[in-house]
Structure 1
Amino acid sequence: MNELAAMVADEAALALRTARLALLPIGATEQHGRHLTLETDFAIAAAFARRLAADLGPDAVLCPGVPYGLSEHHLGFPGTMTLRPETLLALLRDLAESLAEAGVRKVLVVNGHGGNVDAVRLAARVLRRDHQVTMAHVMWAGLAGDVIAELMGSERYGHACEGETSVAMVLAPHLVRADRIGPPADPLPVLPHAAPPAPRVDLALAYHRLSATGALGDARLATPEMGHKIVDTAYGRALEFARAFAEEE
């Protein structure tokens, strides 16, 4: 596996000449209720990206990840650290430009945090237009959204819920404090058509307006079996795309 951070410069030069794409894991440092640690989003993304790097071999280089993201909607809970949108956009652009300087003009962002999606999409558009760099973006929750919808036992889910907790059990078990999993908080009222997981109205909501604990769903329903169903679907689709992305001229 070509892990950039573990190489010396000469090794990196060879790996970057051979690689057809760069993998960039990105997540967040933010609250995940009472039972998942603050590194959850980044740890899941990093584990996912390492699997891709191992399967893609010399076609990919694994970059050091970004453990911060756009988490302003979680600032009502202790421990959350956030970037501003313009900071994340600039960071993604700068990293992609550095890779392009080394000859790698395809970047696959492996994301673990839904709050980053809009920024990654905008960065990709700027990089394509201004720097001739192609940035693609995958996130486990989007890749396996159909499977997740079938498995969830809660009406409102998407953060520290049974789905994310199950994924953590499979990809990064150290994230889960099983002894702290308890009954879900009663959902707080939200304006019509604006509640997760699939709002029809785009309304910026702080998480303390959604849940007293910062979590959605019912983590008591989480199981490794559920996690494997989600991860296997998401990973299979991600690897299929990554291989085609690498091969495309």
Structure 2
Amino acid sequence: MKKVRLEEHNEYSFKEAKFDKLFLAVGSCESHGEHLPYGCDSFVSHQIALDLAQRVKNAVVAPPLWFGMSQHYRHQPMCLSLSDDTVIRAVGDLLESAAFWGIRKVLIVNGHDGNIAPIEIAARDFKVRHPDFGLAVLDAWWVTAGNLLPKDTFEVWDGLGHGGEGETSIGLSIFPQLCDMSRAKGDLPEMDANVKLIWNFQELTRFGASGDPTKATAEKGDKMRKVLVDYLVGFIERMDEQNWRYNIKK
């Protein structure tokens, strides 16, 4: 196993490794129902980043950002949330730190829906300031996994939901010792396919989870984890060949 955790390196080993890519996981600390741990989003995004770094060249993984914008999930105990502005500043500052130390390629792996908008703002602003920097974002792994897997993988709501079938499955794959399936329950809200209602989570479920976590299995989680990492390996290798730029067809 390669040593890919930044926090485990020192000044000498970092310079010797000649890393040119940094993977940054962003998560949250909030309820995912009574069956999943508060750190679920950070555990998942960080593990995806670690799995990926084992399979690509010259990549190091930053310690995860354990907090995100979770104000809309604070109706269940407990939630430690940052504001949108703070997430924007934190992500932007970490990108500036990477640039300062000569790392010019960053993949952000996001584990929480509330971070999507602030990460987008931080990334766009940073890219304008650093146009030659290679920057990519996996902003919703739970959607990506569903898109990549066969359509019959999940039983309810395409595996979606906060602490639902998909998220609970990948939890059973990554941190089974922290999952209590005897307490798994969620509600299934009706969502419009084309127009987004802005909600607070108590409008979608009576619990800390939505979707149907009782349908989750470790086997489904293993499949999600594999298909995500396989895809990201191909993406990173392709980006390295293209110098982290789009190929323009003439």
TM-score range, shorter chain: 0.7 to 0.9
Offset at 1:199?
Answer: 4.0
Look up the match of 2:174: 171
Return the alpha-carbon distance in structure 2 between the equivalents of residues 131 and 175 of structure 1.
40
**TM-score for both structures, normalised by structure 2:** 0.87
Pairwise CA distance, 1:246: 3.3
Which residue identity is paired with 1:215? A
Once the two structures are superposed, what CA deviation does each residue of 1:34-84 show, in whole Å capped at 9, x if it has no partner?
A: 111101010011111111111124x21111110111111101111111111
Find the aligned partners of 1:200 and 1:54 in 2 and give their Cα distance: 38
8 Å contact kept, 1:143–1:233? no
User: 2:28 matched to which residue of 1?
Assistant: 28
Distance across 2 between alignment mates of 1:40 and 1:26: 11
Write the mapping of 1:1-249 to structure 2, written as runs, cut at 5 A: 1-15=3-17, 18-57=18-57, 59-132=58-131, 133-138=133-138, 139-146=140-147, 147=149, 150-155=152-157, 157-182=160-185, 184-185=186-187, 187=188, 195=191, 199-249=193-243
What SS does the aligned partner of 1:232 have?
A: helix
Aligned-residue sequence identity (percent) comes to 30
Where structure 2 has 5 or more consecutive residues not aligned to the other structure, the ranges are 244-250
Aligned mates of 1:81, 1:151 — CA distance in 2: 33
Q: The residue matched to 1:151 in structure 2 has which SS?
A: coil
Give the match's secondary structure for 1:65. Answer: coil
Cα distance in 1 for residues equivalent to 2:206 and 2:59: 42
What is the SS of the residue equivalent to 2:56? helix
SS at match of 2:228: helix
Shift of the alpha carbon at 1:149? Answer: 5.3
8 Å contact from structure 1 (residues 140, 231) kept in 2: no
Asked if the contact 2:67–2:80 (Cα under 8 Å) also holds between the matched residues in 1, the reply is: yes
Alpha-carbon shift at residue 107 of structure 1 (Å): 0.8
Offset at residue 26 of structure 1 (A):
1.1
SS at match of 1:144: helix
The superposition leaves residues 180-229 of structure 1 with CA deviations (integer Å, 9 ceiling, x where unpaired) of 224x44x46x6xxxx2xx74222221111110002111111111221122
SS of alignment partner, residue 164 of structure 1: helix
Q: Is the 8 A contact 1:28 1:71 kept in 2?
A: yes
Give the aligned residue type for 1:28: S
* Structure 1, gaps ≥5 residues long: none
Q: 1:81 to 1:24 in 2, by over 3 A?
A: same
RMSD after superposition: 2.0
Matched residue count: 237
